Amino acid sequence: MVNTEKIKDMCDWERKKAIFLLSEAEKLGMNTASYGDLAVNSTSGYTYLWLEDYNFSLYMPINCDLIKTDIFALWNCSECGNEEETQLTNEDNLKDIENRIEEIEKEHNEDAHNKEE
Ligand SMILES: [Zn+2]
């Protein structure tokens, strides 16, 4: 199960976003029983959900509404630490998000690491 311990240290607005993220992840059919973290990034102030089964995390910025389209999927390059993101649409299912993250990863590997698949 994702670690939800940090919710108790969040402010009202961060907690609302954390619960919304977890609920939307469930709706998307993500495996929230897998190991992960529901927390606030201390640098950015963003509330995020990371699950080890996926190569992206979901986050909501400081100022946003509690709507699916204010959720971002963030990919992080394990080689150079570069971060790229895609904003969710109302129509997005998990496969759509995974496909876009795959494209982001592929493009980044070609551009930044001269890798062709
Ligand atoms: Zn990279």
49-107 pLDDT tens trace = 999 999 999 999 999 999 999 999 999 999 999 999 999 999 999 999 999 999 999 99
φ, ψ at 79 (rounded to 5°)? -85, -45
**pLDDT at position 117, please?**
64
Question: Can you tell me the distance from the alpha carbon of 82 to that of 75, in angstroms, rounded to the nearest whole number?
Answer: 8
Quote the pLDDT of residue 82. 95
CA of residue 106 to ligand 1 center, whole Å: 10
User: How far is ligand 1, taken at its centre, from the CA of residue 77, in Å?
Assistant: 5
Q: Work out whether strand 72-76 and strand 83-87 pair parallel, antiparallel, or are unpaired.
A: antiparallel
Instruction: Find all residues with CB under 8 Å of 40, minimum gap 6, and list them.
Output: 6, 10, 14, 18, 46, 47, 48
Q: Ligand 1: distance of its center to the CA of 117 in Å? A: 15
pLDDT of res. 115 = 82
Q: Outline where the chain has alpha helix (H).
A: 12-27, 94-113
Q: Kindly tell me if the per-residue pLDDT of 27 is higher than 90.
A: yes
DSSP state of 89: -
Range of the domain at 96: 5-113
pTM: 0.94
**C-alpha 67 – ligand 1 centre gap (Å):** 30
**What is the CA(58)–ligand 1 centre distance, in A?**
19
User: How far is ligand 1, taken at its centre, from the CA of residue 108, in Å?
Assistant: 6
Distance 115 CA to ligand 1 centre (A): 10
Burial of 90 (0-12, 13-18, 19+ CB in 10 A): exposed
Residue 2: partners with Cβ closer than 8 Å, 6 or more residues away: 22, 32, 33, 34, 35, 36, 37, 38, 49, 51
Domain count, the chain: 1
